[in-house]
Amino acid sequence: MHEASIALSVLEIATENCRKAGYARIESIRLRVGRASAVMTDALLFAFDAVKIDTIAAGATVIIDEIPIGGLCKECGKDFISEEAYVLCCPECGSTSFKINTGRELEIVDMEVF
């Protein structure tokens, strides 16, 4: 399961940041997850609840901001945002020549520590 290893690395990064900053407890972690990152947010939350047990993040809540897919069409030059998980062609002109600019994010935005 792909989400389990992501949950684990999120936990590791968060734990390291928290310790480095001299805090002992993680209260919440905010993640930015792009719709094109192929991460199932429900599965990620579920996996995080399992890996956080007995860690300094045991009481932590994970908040996920989903980022829609955005791109730039090379054919008509339009910037577009899609609500779908996949973009197969430009929503404006139907061209398959486009560049995805957002939606692949998978990062920690911020966290609350005590």
Binding site for Zn ion (CB under 5 A): 73, 75-76, 90, 92-93, 95
Q: What is the distance between the alpha carbons of residues 24 and 27, in angstroms, rounded to a whole number?
A: 10
C-beta of 59 vs 94, nearer to Zn ion: 94
Query: Smallest distance from the beta carbon of 38 to Zn ion, in angstroms?
Result: 24
C-beta of 63 vs 76, nearer to Zn ion: 76
Question: Identity (one letter) of the amino acid at 114?
Answer: F
C-beta of 92 vs 112, nearer to Zn ion: 92
Which residue's entry shows tokens 């719709």?
Answer: 35
Q: In degrees to the nearest 10, what's the CA dihedral of 109, 45, 99, 87?
A: -150
User: Tokens standing for 40?
Assistant: 């199932």
